[in-house]
Structure 1
Amino acid sequence: MKLPDLPVREVLDELHDALTAHGTAVLVAPPGTGKTTVVPLSLAERTEGRIVVAEPRRLAARAAASRMAALLGERVGETVGYSVRGDRKVSQRTRIEVVTSGLLVRRLQGDPELPGTSTVLLDECHERHLDADLLLALLLDVRGGLRDDLRLLATSATVASGRLAELLGDAPVVTAHARTFPVEVSYQPPARNERVEATVARAVRTALSEVDGDVLAFLPGAGEIARTAALLGDLNVLPLHGRLSPARQDAALSAGPERRVVLATAVAESSLTVPGVRAVVDSGLARVPRVDHRRGLPGLATVRVSAAVAEQRAGRAGREAPGRVYRCWAQYEQASLPAYPEPEIRTADLARLTLELACWSTSDGAGLSWWDPPPVGPLEAGQQLLHTLGALEDGKVTERGRRMAALGLHPRLARALLDGAERVGPQSAAEVVALLDNGGTLTDVDAELRRLRDTRDERWRTEVRRLSRLVPGAPEAPDPALVVALAHPERLARRREPGSPVYLMAGGTAAELPHGSGLGDVEWLAVAEATRDPGRAQGLIRLAARADAELAVTAAPNLVSEVDEVLWAGDVVARRVRRLGAIVLSERPLRNPDPELVRQALADGLRKEGLNLLPWPPEAVRLRARLAFLHHVHGEPWPSMADEDLLATAENWLGTARRRADLARIDTVQALRTLLPWPEAARLDQLAPDRLEVPTGSRIRVDYAGGEPVLAVKLQETFGWLATPRVSGVPVVLHLLSPAGRPAAVTSDLESFWRNGYPSVRAELRGRYPKHSWPENPLTAAPTRR
C-alpha cells in the first residue's frame, strides 16, 4: 500500500525501531503530519496482531477510521473499523480498530490482557482528557504485570513530552515536523459589551473578504455555534460538534463546491482535519469540566484557551496553503494566556474515574503510575457518592457497582437507568437518561422530551434504543422527574417562597429558574442541571422537571430525617423538623426541649447578638474590668474578659435560662465569679482592689475600665501622700480634682508632681477657690476632705 505523502512518513522507520527496541515510544507530531492515520496503517503493515487506536472523542474516532479506510480504498469495518459508544463497525478482517479512550477502559476492565492486540496507540495525549489519563495509567499497569509484550505508542501535538516519556519507562521520543505554510496572525478584540458570537461573526465576514478558501471558526460550545450561525444566516455555515448526528459531522469534514464556514468546538483543534480551510477565526474560549465541590454543582465552564491550544488552532489555517488566523482578543492579552490547558483530572468530577478504579481493585488509585494523580478531595467526594449509590462498600466495588460501571455512564446516570427501569420501564428511563447525558436546549425536561420526539432527533433516539436494551424492566407510567431525581437526589428543590424564582436544593444550594423556563408555577423541581457562574451567590437552573413532595421522598428516602431542633432566631425556637436534606418538609413546636440544646441555642444567640443581651449592673462592669486588668498584667490563670472569650464559655454560666427574657435576669456578677481561678481568687482584693485608701482615710473606688488603674480623688485629700500608689506593681493614674470635682491634674508620679507641677496648679486653684487652703508645702500639710 502506498501511504500518503505526509511528514510523519520521514520518521516511520525510526518509530518502528524505537517500538521494537523499547516496547514504548512517544511521537511528537503537530496536527496535519499524519500521526493519526499514517502511523496505524504503517504499524499494521509491519506488526502482527491488532492495532488499537484510542481517541479522546467519538467524532475523532469515526473520522480517523473513515480516513484510513478511504486510503485503503475500503469501507469502514474491513481492514479498519471503529468502536464508540452506541456504534461499532468491525469484522474478522479488522486489523486496525479506532476506539474512544473510555470504551478501551471498559474493555480493559473486562479482560486486562487485551488478547489479540499487539499495539495500543494513545492519540492526542496532550489534550489531557480524564479518560485518556486513566487509560494510560491502566495500560502501564497491564504492561508492568500481565503483558510486557504489549507495545504502547503515545502521540502528542506539543513538545512537552518529557513527563510522558518518563511514564512510559524513559521511552524514546520521535519527532515529526509539519510541513506547514506561513500563517499571518491578526487580532480583532471584541467591541465594548459585544458578545462572543457577534465578535466571531464579524471576524468571519472579514476573513471571507480577505482570504480565499473556507473559514474554520472555533467557539466554546454548541449554543454559541447555533447563535453565531444565526448571525451568518446568509452564508454556507456548517456546525461541527459532538452533539450532531454522524451524517452532519461528516458533512463538515468533507470538502464541498461552495465556500464554507465551519463553526466548530475544540473537536477540530488537533485530531480532525477540516479540508479546504485557509482562514481560522479563534474566539479564544473553550468549554471545560469544572466542579464547584462545595456547592455540588458539576458542569462545564467557559475559560480562555492556553497558548498551546491557540497555536494548534492557528496551524489549521496553514495546512494546505498560506493562511490567516483572526484572534478575537487584544494582542497584549496573548502574553497572559496559560502555557498549556489544565488537565481534566484536576478540575473534573471524579465519580466515574473512582468507580473505574474500584473495579480495578484500587479505589484510591494507589500503585498506578499517573501523569497527574487524582486530587484527594474530589476522589473522596467520588467515593462518598459511590457509597450512597450502593456501588462501593468498605472501599470495594459491589456487584451493583460493576453493573453500573458496565453501562459506560456516569454513576449517577447508571443508577437512574437501573432503578428507573424498574419503576417507569426501560424505554422511559432511557429517554430521560439519554437527555441528561447529552443535554438539551430547553429548561423544562418534559418540553425537551416532547421536542426530541417531535423532531425525531436520530442521535437521541439511537442512544435511547441502546440504553433501553441494557436494562430489564416492565413498562410502567413515564415519570421523568423521578428518573432525574434518581440521578441527582441532592438536587431536588423546593421554592423558597411563593412567587420567587429561587429554589433551595436538598444539598443546601440555592438556584434560580431563568425567565421564560415554563416552570415558574411549580413548588417542587427535580433539577437535572444547575451551574454557578463566578461571582454569583446562587446557581442557575438549566434543566429541571416538575416534581412534588411525595416524589421527592420516594426518590431520596436516605435524605429524609426527623430531628429535634433548638436554635436561636431572635429567641430560642424549639421544634421537631422533618427535612429532605436542607429542605424543611414539616415542623411543629417542641414542648420540652433538651436543656443542653437550649443552653447551646442561648449561647448561639449571645454569639450572634452580643453580650448586651445580658444585664450589666455597675458591680458586674467593675468586676469584669478588674479581672481584665489582672489577665493583662499576670496572664493565666486569670481569665480573659474579651467578648469572644466570654462567649466561648457562655454555656457554663447560663444557669437555668430558657429564653431571651431569662437572659436579662442572669446574675452576671456571680457568673463572672464562677470564672475566678482558685486559690488565686483569694487575693483578688489585694491584687486589684476595688477601693484604695487615701491620706484622709477615704476609700475611693479604682476605675479599671481603661485597662489601667485610675483613682479620681480631690487634690486636698492627697496632701502628705509622698509616693504614687501601685496596684499589682502598676502605678495608679491619679486624677487630682478641684474642690468642684473637676480634674486639675493627672499624674502617675506624685513625687514629680509635688515638685514640678503643684506650684502652677496651686496658683490657679488659689485664684479660683480663695477660701480653700493651698499650702506651699503639700508634703507636710494635713490632708482634708473639705
Structure 2
Amino acid sequence: MSELPVAAALPSIVAALAEHGTAVLVAPPGTGKTTLVPPALPGRVVVAEPRRVAARAAAARMAALAGEPVGRSVGYAVRGDRKVSAETRVEVVTSGLLVRRLQSDPELSGVDTVLLDECHERHLDADLLLALLMDARDGLRPDLRVLATSATVAAERLAALLGDAPVIRVAGVAHPVTTGYVPPVRGERLTATVVRAIRKAQSDGDGDVLVFLPGAKEIRQVSAQLDGDVAILHGRLAAGEQDAALRPGARRRVVLATAVAESSLTVPGVRAVVDAGQARVPRVDHGRGLSGLVTVRVSAAVADQRAGRAGREAPGRVYRCWPEHEQATLPRYPDPEIRTADLTRLALELACWGTPDGSALRWWDAPPPGPLAAARDTLSALGALADGEVTPRGRSMARLGLHPRLARALVDHPAGAEVVAVLDDDTLAAGVDLEAALRALRRGSPASERWRREVKRLRRGGQETAGSADAALVTGLAFPERLARRRAPGSRSYLMAGGTAVDLPVDSGLGDPEWLAVAAADWTGGAGRVRLAARTDEATALRAAPALLTESDEVTWSGGDVLAHRVRRLGAIVLRSRPLADPPPAAVRAAVLAGLARHGLSLVRFDQAATALRTRIAFLHRTLGDPWPAVDDDALIATADTWAGSARNATDLRALRMSDALRALLPWQAAARLDELAPERITVPSGSRLRVDYSADPPALPVKIQEVFGWTTTPTLADGRVPLVLHLLSPAGRPTAVTGDLASFWSTGYPQVRSELRGRYPKHRWPEDPTTATPSQRTTQPKK
C-alpha cells in the first residue's frame, strides 16, 4: 500500500489541513485516496461516501489494512446498518446520513475532520452536505477540518467554496487501456448488444469482465443470457451480496453492475470493461408534477472513468456499446443532480437547517428557484411547512430519512412500514401488482431479507407496531396525484388525479379495476405505463387525498358550445357532474371568450359589409397607425370582450353583426372621419360611384377607361398620403392597364392601349385626347 501514489502526499495533506482547515485532493481512481488518507488524518474522522456500497467497501478495506474486523478502529454507518464501537476513530457514512447527523448536531461533536469523497459525482445529498458543512464551520465549528477528494473535478471552484483551500494533486499510475466499439446492429436491443460485447471481451483476453448497465432490470436481462460465474452489484442488494461481488472469484467472472462501480470501489480481478453507455438518473417531470428515474446517455467523463476500471490492476480493455463516431457527441460532464432532480427532500432539509430558500449557504450550484419553490409548495401541502417554516410534523418526517411523500404516508398511517419499504425501493416488487408483491415478500422471496430489514428500520424510526396496512391507502397518502380512475368501461387507460393518463399492462395481474393507486409509472414516447399499483376504490381514494377534493360550478367551451355543470372532482378526475340551469353570466362570458381564443373567428360570420369595413380599417391602421385599431384575427380575438356583447353560446356568436362590432372598436373621433379617409366608394368623372378594393395594398379602384376621361389628377386616400391605384378596364371589363399616375398614363400609356383596343372594340369611344373627352357610363359611341 505504501507504493500507491497518494502515500507520498499524506504529509502534505495533513499539513494543509492543519494550516488552512480545508483542502482539496485531486487524485484519479486507484491512487489510494479513499483507503490511505482517512487513517492518516489526526483525531476522529468521518468519511462521507455518495453510496452505501462504497461506504461499506471503504470501511472493510481500511479495516483489513489495519488487520482488524470492521467496527473496531474503522467502522461504517449506512441506512439500516451500522458497525462501530467505542474504539472507532474512522467512520465511513453516506452523505445523506451525515446530513441527518448535522441536523441533529450542527457542531458534529467529537468529530475532528470530515472527508468528502468523490465530490465530482455531484449527487444531491453530497452537494447539500458540502453547503451545510461550510455553514457549520463558518458559524459553529471553525476548528472542523474538511477535506474534499475527487477524481475529476473543477478543483479551483471547489477550493473557492472551501475558503480558498489549497489544492493537492496526485498523479495516478494507470495501466494502459485499449478501447474498442461494439455498436448495436439494426433492430438490436441494448441488452443483446451488451451480451455480444461480453462474449467478445471473454474471447479477447483473460481476467474478469466488469459490465456497466443502467439498472437492475437490465442486469437481470443480461444475467439470464450468460453462463458461468456471474456476480451482481447494485445499490439495492443486501450487504452480503455486495460483498460477494467485491471479492475475487475462484474462476473467471462477469460482474454486472450499475453506476455504483464507477468510483470508490475496486472490483478485483477486472481486466475488461463493457460499457452500455447509459445511466439511470433522477429527474423531475415538472409538466406532470412527478419524479423518478430516467435513462440517459453517459457523459464523456463518466465513460472515461468507467474505462479506467479496466486498468486498475493491469493493462486492460474497454468495449463501448455505441458507434465510435458518437463518442464526440457525448456531453462533457454529467448534470449535477441539483439541477434536474426532485428537490422536495432538499427543501425539507433546508427548512430544518433554518434557511428555507437556501440563500444563506454557499453552493457549488444553487438550487434552481422554480423547482425549489415547487418543492416548498409540496411540503406545505404535506404539512411539513407552515408560513415557510418547518413544523414539528416536518421535523418528524425528516428524521425518517425518506422522501417527504413517503414519510408523510408513514406519519399518517403508522402501520404502513411494509408498504412504504416497497414504495421506496420498487425493485422489491417482481410485477405490477403491489398487493401480490407484498404477499410474496411476506411468504419469503429473494428480496425478503432486504425488505424485512428496511421494515424493521422504519418501524423503529416511526415508532410503529407491527401490522399490515391497506397498500392502496398508503400509496395514495404518499402519491395522491397518482390516484387513478379508469377512463371508460373495459379500457386499459386510466386518468390520474394529477391529470396524466397511464395505461395498465394487460398482464398486470390486477384485472380491470375502476380505481388504482399508482406507485410507479414509466413514460416513453409520450405514453405512460403503470409499473407498480394497487387496486382501490373511490372511498379509499377520497380518504387518501381529501385535499384534492373539490366541488364547483364549471362553465366551459366544449364541443363547439358553452357547457355548464356542477362538478365534483378528485384533482383532474370527475366524480360527479350535473347540468346547471342558470350559470353565472360572468362565467358564461368567460367561456365564450375562451371558445373564441381556442377556435378563432370561425365562430362568427363576416358578411360582405363587415368584410369591406374590416379591410378599410386595416388600411388606415397600416397607413396611419393610432387611433386606428388593428383588426387582424389575433387583434380581434384579443379585444373580443369589447365586441362579443351578450353572446352566451355558439348561436349567439353567429348572429353577431360584425359591422357593428368593428365600429365599436373605433374611437368616436376616428369613426367620424372614416368615410373621409377611406371612403367605401369613389365618384368617378362619369358619375358612377364605384367600390374601392381595400384588400389590395395599396387600395385599388377597378373602372372602365371611358368613365375616367377628363380625370387628370389621381385621387388619393388617407389625407392624400396614398394614391389610389386605378385598374383600368376594357369595355368588356378586362384589365388593360394599372396606374397610380393618370397624367403619366394619358401621355405615355394610353396611345398604345388605344391602338390595341380600338380595332377590337370599334363601337366604343377612343378619343385621341382623353383628357378633354367627355366621360360616360355608356362606353359605346352614340349613333349618328
Alignment partner of 1:203 out of 188, 197, 200? 197
Matched residue SS, 1:170: coil
Instruction: Output the CA distance in 1 between the equivalents of 2:645 and 2:670.
Output: 24
Counterpart selection for 1:436 from 423, 426, 431? 423
For residue 353 of structure 2, what is the aligned residue in structure 1?
Answer: 360
1:34 match: 32
Contact kept, 8 Å, 2:432 with 2:531, in 1: the verdict is yes
Aligned partner of 1:633 among 623, 634, 638? 623
- Give the Å deviation of 1:144: 0.9
- Counterpart CA distance in 1 for 2:32 and 2:92 is 15
- For the 8 Å contact 2:493–2:501, the answer to whether it is kept is yes
Over the matched positions of the two proteins, sequence identity in percent amounts to 65
Aligned-pair distance for 1:394?
1.3
The runs of 5 or more residues in structure 2 that have no matched partner are 779-784
Determine the C-alpha separation between the residues in 1 that align with 2:48 and 2:749: 94
Offset at 1:94? 1.2
Relative to structure 1, the CA distance from residue 474 to residue 77 in structure 2 (aligned partners, 3 Å threshold; closer, same or farther) is closer
Question: What is the aligned partner in structure 1 of residue 270 from structure 2?
Answer: 277
- How far apart, in 1, do the equivalents of 2:757 and 2:329 lie? 75
Structure 1 unaligned runs (5+)? none
Task: Give the letter aligned to residue 150 of structure 1.
Answer: L
Asked if 2 retains the 8 angstrom alpha-carbon contact of 1:55 and 1:101, the reply is yes
The alignment status of 1:618 with 2:608, answered yes or no, reads yes
Q: What is residue 781 of structure 2 aligned with on the other side?
A: none
Residues 332, 717 of structure 1: CA spacing in aligned structure 2 closer, same or farther, 3 A cutoff?
closer
Correspondence list, 1:145-544, <5 A = 145-158=139-152, 160-232=154-226, 234-421=227-414, 426=415, 429-440=416-427, 441-456=430-445, 457-472=448-463, 478-533=469-524, 536-544=525-533
Q: Secondary structure at the match of 1:231?
A: coil
Note the C-alpha offset of 1:113.
Answer: 0.8
What is the letter of the counterpart of residue 706 of structure 1? A
Deviation sequence 1:292-338 (CA, Å, 0-9, x none)? 21222311122222222222222222222222222222222223322
Change (3 A) 1:586 1:159: closer
Superposition deviation, residue 41 in structure 1: 1.7
In the other structure, the counterpart of 1:777 is 769
Alignment of 1:36-51 (within 5 A): 36-43=34-41, 47-48=42-43, 50-51=44-45
Segment of structure 1 superposing worse, 177-186 or 251-260: 177-186
Match of 2:674 in 1: 684
Give, as a single letter, the amino acid of the residue that structure 1 aligns with 2:450: R
**Given that residues 625 and 707 in structure 1 are in contact (C-alpha distance below 8 angstroms), is that contact kept between their aligned partners in structure 2?**
no
Deviation by residue 1:226-265 (Cα, 9 ceiling, x = unmatched): 1111110x21001011111111111111112111111111
Q: Tell me by how many angstroms 1:84 deviates.
A: 0.9
Map Cα deviations across residues 336-368 of structure 1 (whole Å, 9 max, x no partner): 322222211111111101110110100111121
Q: 1:136 aligns with which of 126, 130, 141?
A: 130
Matched, 1:124 2:135: no
Q: What is the CA-CA distance between 1:437 and the residue it aligns to? A: 0.8
Residue by residue over 1:28-79, the C-alpha shift from the partner in whole angstroms, topping out at 9 and shown as x without a partner, is 2222222112212222xxx23x211111111111111122222222222211
Partners of 2:668 and 2:202 in 1: how far apart? 89
Three-state SS of the structure 2 residue aligned to 1:664 is: helix
Which residue is 2:591 aligned to? 601
Question: Contact between 2:492 and 2:512, CA under 8 Å: does it hold in 1?
Answer: no
Amino acid at match of 2:33: K
| 2:620 partner SS | helix
Contact 2:687 2:777 in 1 (8 A): no
Do the aligned residues in 1 keep the contact of 2:49 with 2:94 (CA within 8 Å)? yes
Say whether the 8 Å CA contact 1:509–1:538 is kept in structure 2.
Answer: no
Q: Which stretch of structure 1 is more off in the superposition, 515-524 or 618-627?
A: 515-524
Native 8 Å contact 2:459 2:466 kept in 1: no
The match for 1:753 among 742, 745, 748 is 745
Q: Distance in 2 between matches of 1:649 and 1:368?
A: 48
Q: Is the 8 A contact 1:501 1:520 kept in 2?
A: no
Shift of the alpha carbon at 1:474?
6.9
* Per-residue deviation, 1:4: 5.4
Asked whether the 8 Å contact 1:297–1:531 carries over to 2, the reply is: no
C-alpha change, 1:639 and 1:240, in structure 2 (3 Å) is same
SS of the counterpart of 2:553?
A: strand
Residues 666-713 of structure 1, C-alpha deviation per residue, up to 9 Å, x if partnerless?
122211111111222211111111222222333222221224332233
1:65-144 mapped onto 2 (5 Å cutoff): 65-144=59-138
Return the letter of the residue paired with 1:606.
Answer: L
Change (3 A) 1:605 1:407: same
Aligned residues: 771
- Over 3 Å counting, the alpha-carbon distance change for 1:83 and 1:687 in structure 2 is same
Q: Which residue of 2 aligns with 1:551?
A: 540
2:673 maps to amino acid: R
Retained in 2: the 8 A contact 1:130–1:345?
yes
Equivalent of residue 639 in structure 2, options 635, 639, 649: 649
Query: Are residues 770 and 724 of structure 1, via their aligned partners in 2, closer, same or farther at CA, if it must alter by over 3 Å?
Result: same
Matches within 5 A, 1:729-768: 729=720, 730-768=722-760
In structure 2, the CA distance between the partners of 1:176 and 1:711, relative to structure 1 (3 Å rule), is closer
Aligned alpha-carbon RMSD (Å): 1.8
CA distance in 1, matches of 2:602, 2:245: 72
Look up the SS of the partner of 2:345 in the other structure. helix
Task: Work out whether residues 5 and 172 of structure 2, in 8 Å CA contact, stay in contact via their aligned partners in 1.
Answer: yes
- What displacement does 1:475 show? 7.1
User: Contact conserved, 1:119 with 1:152, CA < 8 A, in 2?
Assistant: yes
- Which residue of structure 2 aligns with residue 63 of structure 1? 57
Q: Is 1:669 equivalent to 2:659 in the alignment?
A: yes
Quickly say closer, same or farther: Cα 1:23–1:772, change in 2 above 3 A.
closer
Quote the Cα distance in structure 2 between the aligned partners of 1:703 and 1:339.
Answer: 61
> What per-residue deviation string (whole Å, max 9, x for no partner) do you get for residues 72-118 of structure 1?
22222211111111111111111111111101100000011111111
Distance 1:169 1:657 in 2: 67
